[in-house]
Amino acid sequence: MNNNDLANLLYPNITKTIADLEKEFKDRKLWDGSKVTRFAPSPTGRVHMGNLYASFIPEVIARESNGVFILRIEDTDSKRAIANGVELILEDLKHYDYKIDEDPISGGNYGPYIQTKRKEIYHIVAKYLVSIGRAYPCFCKEDELDELRDKQKRRKERIGYYGKYAKCRKLSYEEIKNKIENGESWVLRLKSNGDFNKTIIFNDLVKGRIELPENDIDQVLVKSDGIPPYALAHVCDDHFMRVTTVTRDDSYISSVPFHLELWDACGFKAPEFAHLLPLNIKDGETIRKISKRKDPEAAVSFYHKRGIPVEAVKLYFASIMNSNFEEWFLLNPTKSYKEFHFTFDKMSKSGPIFDLNKLINISKNYLSRLTAKEVYSNLLEWAKEYDKDFYDLIYKYKDYTISILNIEREVEKPRKDFSSYSEIKDYIWYMYDELFFDENFNARYDFIRNNDDMNLIVKEYFNIYYDINDDKDTWFEKMKKACEDFGYSSSVKEYKKDPSKYKGSIIDFSMAIRVGVTSKIATPDLYEILRLLGTNKIIKRVNYIK
């Protein structure tokens, strides 16, 4: 049979050739060592932690090699696609500050970046494969294929359309022409020339050397609706988008022999592959893939709502991506993860287990290192979306809020009170009269009112001893004096020697004052708290303790 005749019969409207595509999508002018990577999700909804992590990796690899990071949408499975799927994915990736060089909305020179818009490209390549005798149409119906499967099962043979079972391989041009003229539907299959008894060896960037049997199955390259399944689509896309490094789920690894056969049949140079282990989660005693359906912490909205900083999530990803990252970060705590050199060989070969507590801990440390101004502006942005009343308040008291956030911050060991923006209000609400004098105020203050000693301490201390202009040392000396005057020991050590001699120690005494003005038993530095509250607020609060 003349393959060109068959190619023209199957794809009569395709006039462009692979050579035309090669010219259209020129080799990228890249620096030596630069990587072109891509994230290629289906548009099935919002990104979740699993694919946010999966996209972090190619983004990092492209950015740090001065390369290109592409977002490509794989929507050939129309059943799973949702209407605004592309926008949602882009929104999430941008929220995480991923640097995307080419995507379906901003475009680029290697598009379209949505697979269903690339049909012509796939058909050009399909036509080429037919023309060189490496692909043929198959007219087998569903029930015939089922029958074949049953027969192979009965005979305990490998399942698939291969070798002697590849019935349509043998069709003549005339037979094919007749079937097409009769309107029979067909799929295009690879004419595999692999040998299952031989092995193929390839190098995976994460897993190293891999040996697998060659592919000998005549897999489907184009479905009857003209849309290619993943294999041909990704070969065409990655080739003409000039992708150098494919990062994808490791469930694709068993298909690599088929994919490599296809890359080779098309005459394209295969890219490097890095098969990534998915983000797992511990579910009781079992370990499974993180799931959007089962795990609330899989949704990115969980982090938005809680106000966990984007950078903290990325620091967490960095720590699971490369085993040596944490050590580096410990030595360089003020640097961005972007300054670390990531490599595939430092990726875990067993699946990373998602650990929310670790992420929270990273977030706590991260937030403690920000300046008060940075925390303020991020908090403001978060509150604008999730806590409007608090937003109004901190917007109104900008400088005051920054000063509150600055207590015990710019010191060698800053406080690590909160791990997210949503927790901050719980730590500072008492500093604002608007929140302090709420409906529970009286109930809180009854505690002091009913405690005679505490009641007296608070009133007397502010009447006689407290002066807002005192520096910290003077303030503390006066506090000690007041303490002794009230029968408390100004030395914890002395108090411990003979507690019966005192009503309590300076710890109890200062606690009374702390509770008196904040109604909390734990706050950051009391001197700073009092100074920031200021005389008016203090007097107003003390006067409520009748």
Give me the residues that bind ligand GLU (CB under 6 A), please: 40-42, 74, 234, 246, 248-249
Residues 6+ apart with CB under 8 A from 312: 359, 362, 363, 366, 367, 419
Residues 6+ apart with CB under 8 A from 243: 36, 37, 38, 70, 237, 271
**Cβ atoms 186, 132 nearer than 8 A:** no
Q: Which residues on adjacent β-strands are paired with residue 481?
A: none
Residue closer to ligand GLU (CB basis): 186 or 263: 263
Secondary structure, 3-state, 346-374: HCCCCCCECCHHHHHHHHHHHHHHCCHHH
| Helix (H), strand (E) at residue 174 | helix 173-181
Shortest distance (Å) from residue 230 CB to ligand GLU? 6
Q: What share of the chain is helix, strand, coil (3-state, %, to 5)?
A: 55, 10, 35
Shortest distance (Å) from residue 44 CB to ligand GLU? 9
Shortest distance (Å) from residue 52 CB to ligand GLU? 13
Shortest distance (Å) from residue 278 CB to ligand GLU? 10
Handedness of CA 427, 432, 434, 436 (dihedral sign): positive
Task: List the structure tokens of 30.
Answer: 């890249």
Residue closer to ligand GLU (CB basis): 273 or 495: 273
Shortest distance (Å) from residue 74 CB to ligand GLU? 4
Cα–Cα distance for residue pair 94/69, rounded to 1 Å = 13
Shortest distance (Å) from residue 238 CB to ligand GLU? 8
Handedness of CA 498, 502, 504, 506 (dihedral sign): negative
Cα–Cα distance for residue pair 73/534, rounded to 1 Å = 57
Residue closer to ligand GLU (CB basis): 71 or 188: 71
Shortest distance (Å) from residue 401 CB to ligand GLU? 43
Give phi and psi for 200, each to the nearest 5. -115, 140
The residue behind tokens 């999966």 is 54
Cα–Cα distance for residue pair 108/240, rounded to 1 Å = 12
Instruction: Lay out the sheet containing 135-138: strands in order across.
Output: 135-138, 187-190, 220-222
Q: What count of other Cβ atoms lies within 10 Å of the Cβ of residue 439?
A: 6
Cα–Cα distance for residue pair 152/534, rounded to 1 Å = 85
Cα 12 versus chain centre, distance: 45
Shortest distance (Å) from residue 58 CB to ligand GLU? 9
The residue behind tokens 């994460």 is 206
Task: List the structure tokens of 140.
Answer: 């087998």
Task: List the structure tokens of 230.
Answer: 């993943």
Residue closer to ligand GLU (CB basis): 204 or 355: 204
Shortest distance (Å) from residue 522 CB to ligand GLU? 48
Cα–Cα distance for residue pair 429/435, rounded to 1 Å = 6
Shortest distance (Å) from residue 38 CB to ligand GLU? 7
Shortest distance (Å) from residue 116 CB to ligand GLU? 13
Shortest distance (Å) from residue 232 CB to ligand GLU? 12
Residue length of the chain: 546
Q: What angle do CA 282, 288, 294 make, to 5 degrees?
A: 80
Cα 538 versus chain centre, distance: 45
Residue closer to ligand GLU (CB basis): 42 or 245: 42
